[in-house]
Chain A
Amino acid sequence: MDTTTSPVMTGAAAPSMVRRNGETIGFVIMVAALIVAPFFVYPLFLMQAMCFALFACAFNLLIGYGGLLSFGHALYFGWASYLAAHAAKVWGLTPELAILTGTATAAVFGLAAGSLAIRRQGIYFAMITLALAQMMYFVALRMKFTGGEDGIQAVPRGHLFGVIDLTNDMTMYVVVLVIFLAGFMLIYRIIHSPFGEVLKAIRENEPRAVSLGYKTERYKLIAFMLSATLAGVAGSTKAITMQIASLTDVNWPMSGEVVLMTLVGGLGTIFGPVVGAFVILFMQFKLSVVGEWVLVIQGVIFVTCVLLFRRGIVGEIAALFKR
């Protein structure tokens, strides 16, 4: 459109352009940091952090942009990691196919759980997602293939496409980075798609969206499935990278942790979950010497965020720039 002839559209471009410029700068910084980071920080730590960052981004897609609080996202993360680990170790699939297997599992669970939960609102929605996740936790605990308390250990990283050996951490790092960035960009695209616009409208005022003729439940279900599937990508990638799938990843504290990461980083912001995931993991890593106290410290941070910095780290920074 010719901006000189339409004063309104000239103005229209302004605020969204500021936002987009900020996002582009943020993205460049993030990519640059992730490229140089493995030369200074343990690659294993970074890879794990990227998996959690993608998990948190997937969760944020649902709560931050769809307004749906799932309190059972460990279900998709954890079960995807089991299936990916099993596929790689027992079926001998190549890592990309193992990750695909885990991801497909998460998608199916997402469809099933979403269909049940989506009809409920607010706290009831959260409770159903939690209940289903706990149910599937017990299934994981009881089933043979998950290895119960031991989990699935010594998962082979294998050869990507049957060719590239992933044993080397730096090679693995590149793969995880590519997966993370692809997932991140897909989420960005979903948020800024026609579908994302409808999702936003539903979050803002669902009855109104219905009265305009939108079948809101279908939109919410698809958002739920997308979120679960991407959580599955994260869980599968983590299982292959860390070479283990365990009960920790499928249990409710994991569902809580992803909420914490998202809140600390900034709910409903693009980069918030990434920052949140890195901050929380770094803390756990540094504070591992104090043992259980790390949970108390996390609790304090959680409460502080909710009370003082509701927008999270990224949200507060963005607000500073707007002023």
Chain B
Amino acid sequence: MPVEVDLILVTEGLTKDFAGFTAVGGVDLQVRRGTIHALIGPNGAGKTTCFNLLTKFLSPSSGRIVYNGRDITAMQPADVARLGLVRSFQISAVFPHMTVLENVRIALQRLKRGSSFDFWRSKSVLDEYNDRALSLIDDVGLSDYALANAVELPYGRKRALEIATTLALEPDMLLLDEPTAGMGHEDIARIADLIKRVAKNRTVLMVEHNLSVVADLSDTITVLTRGRVLAEGDYATVSNNPEVREAYMGVGHA
């Protein structure tokens, strides 16, 4: 008898062709609720494309996506976000000429007010979200920057802001695309620690190149090459897989 597992996200035969080139080919993904699941693989393996498919920024050529028991394959990206499946982007996604506070508040505004179109009201009604926004900003260590424009933040802080903004939506599941890319040691440690903390009562699926971060954080790892799943399991299993060692770990990461 198989043990009953609580899966939050399941894909079946997820495929994306770009003009004859298969970027993602028949990927079956199973993400257990409450875990940190890493998606790794060399550049061009199709990880970002996978994220785009899961969050409906791209439509799959074939295959199915089930989130929380619900088929979301045909949904709009904004609706997927409203179901609590929220992504970040590989290239940091902040609102550059808005302050850190405003960045987080825009997410709170969506959560609390939905998509209201009240153009006749003063935006001072948004001030009631300031306290919550500031506490989220504090959580990711950005208190000192609350009033700086996002564009002025150092790179690592931008990623932290992104996470704070995402968390403002109280998502059930976070998709993080290379959260530590381009960061120095200190920032990496801080972000890894942050991910560990925010994953306490939610599910995280992340693309990550830094293998020590992957080893440290993930419960499950899926290795992708050329759009296909090469291996899956915990860190020990995956890192001992000879195919994985050859295809991925042999290159660059000793």
Q: Which residues of A contact B (CB under 8 A)?
A: 1, 8-9, 11-12, 15, 189-190, 192-198, 200-201, 204-205, 207-216, 218-219, 222, 226
Given contacts A1-B127, A194-B126, contact A212 B119 (CB under 8 A): no
Residue of B nearest to A187 (CB): B119
Given contacts A198-B109, A211-B77, A216-B78, contact A189 B119 (CB under 8 A): yes
A189 touches B95 (CB 8 A): no
- B102 contacts chain A at the CB level, 8 A cutoff: yes
- B130 contacts chain A at the CB level, 8 A cutoff: yes
Q: B248 to chain A: which residues have CB within 8 Å? A: none
A-B contact pairs, 13 of them (CB 8 A): A1-B130, A204-B96, A205-B93, A208-B93, A208-B95, A209-B106, A211-B86, A212-B86, A213-B110, A214-B110, A214-B115, A222-B117, A222-B119
A197 touches B130 (CB 8 A): no
B81 touches A207 (CB 8 A): no
Given contacts A207-B89, A210-B78, contact A11 B119 (CB under 8 A): no
Q: What would 16 more interface pairs be, CB under 8 Å, given A196-B119, A197-B102, A210-B77?
A: A8-B134, A8-B143, A8-B146, A8-B147, A12-B130, A193-B120, A195-B119, A197-B106, A208-B94, A211-B89, A212-B86, A212-B110, A213-B86, A218-B117, A222-B117, A222-B119
Q: B93 to chain A: which residues have CB within 8 Å? A: 205, 207-208, 211
Chain A: minimal CB distance from B80 (Å): 8
Q: A193 to chain B: which residues have CB within 8 Å? A: 118-123
Chain A: minimal CB distance from B136 (Å): 13
Chain B: minimal CB distance from A132 (Å): 23
Q: B87 to chain A: which residues have CB within 8 Å? A: 211
Residue of A nearest to B165 (CB): A212
Q: B81 to chain A: which residues have CB within 8 Å? A: 210-213
Residue of A nearest to B81 (CB): A213
Given contacts A197-B123, A211-B87, contact A12 B101 (CB under 8 A): yes
Tell me the bound Cα distance from A222 to B93 in angstroms: 25
Residue of A nearest to B96 (CB): A204
A215 touches B169 (CB 8 A): no
Q: Which residues of B contact A (CB under 8 A)?
A: 55, 57, 76-79, 81-82, 86-89, 93-99, 101-102, 105-107, 109-110, 113, 115-123, 125-127, 130, 134, 143, 146-147, 165, 169
A214 touches B78 (CB 8 A): yes
**Which of A11, A189, A222 has the most chain B CB atoms closer than 10 A to its own CB?**
A189
A197 touches B169 (CB 8 A): no
Tell me the bound Cα distance from A51 to B76 in angstroms: 41
B55 touches A211 (CB 8 A): yes
**Which of A1, A15, A189, A213 has the most chain B CB atoms closer than 10 A to its own CB?**
A213
Q: B125 to chain A: which residues have CB within 8 Å? A: 194
Tell me the bound Cα distance from A310 to B165 in angstroms: 32
Q: Which of A194, A204, A211, A222 contacts B113 (CB 8 A)?
A: A194
Residue of A nearest to B88 (CB): A211
Chain B: minimal CB distance from A179 (Å): 18
A197 touches B55 (CB 8 A): no
Tell me the bound Cα distance from A219 to B113 in angstroms: 14
Tell me the bound Cα distance from A215 to B82 in angstroms: 10
Given contacts A1-B127, A8-B143, A207-B89, contact A212 B107 (CB under 8 A): yes
Given contacts A194-B118, A204-B97, A214-B78, contact A15 B147 (CB under 8 A): yes
**Which of B93, B95, B97 has the most chain A CB atoms closer than 10 A to its own CB?**
B95
Tell me the bound Cα distance from A9 to B135 in angstroms: 13
B110 touches A195 (CB 8 A): no
**Which of A15, A200, A214, A226 has the most chain B CB atoms closer than 10 A to its own CB?**
A214
Residue of A nearest to B86 (CB): A211
B120 touches A198 (CB 8 A): no
Q: B110 to chain A: which residues have CB within 8 Å? A: 198, 212-214
Q: A200 to chain B: which residues have CB within 8 Å? A: 95, 98
Chain B: minimal CB distance from A174 (Å): 25
Q: A214 to chain B: which residues have CB within 8 Å? A: 78, 110, 115
Q: B109 to chain A: which residues have CB within 8 Å? A: 194, 197-198
A213 touches B82 (CB 8 A): yes
Q: Which of A12, A198, A215 contacts B147 (CB 8 A)?
A: A12
A198 touches B106 (CB 8 A): yes
B94 touches A205 (CB 8 A): yes
Residue of A nearest to B175 (CB): A211
Tell me the bound Cα distance from A222 to B97 in angstroms: 22
B95 touches A195 (CB 8 A): no
Tell me the bound Cα distance from A207 to B57 in angstroms: 9
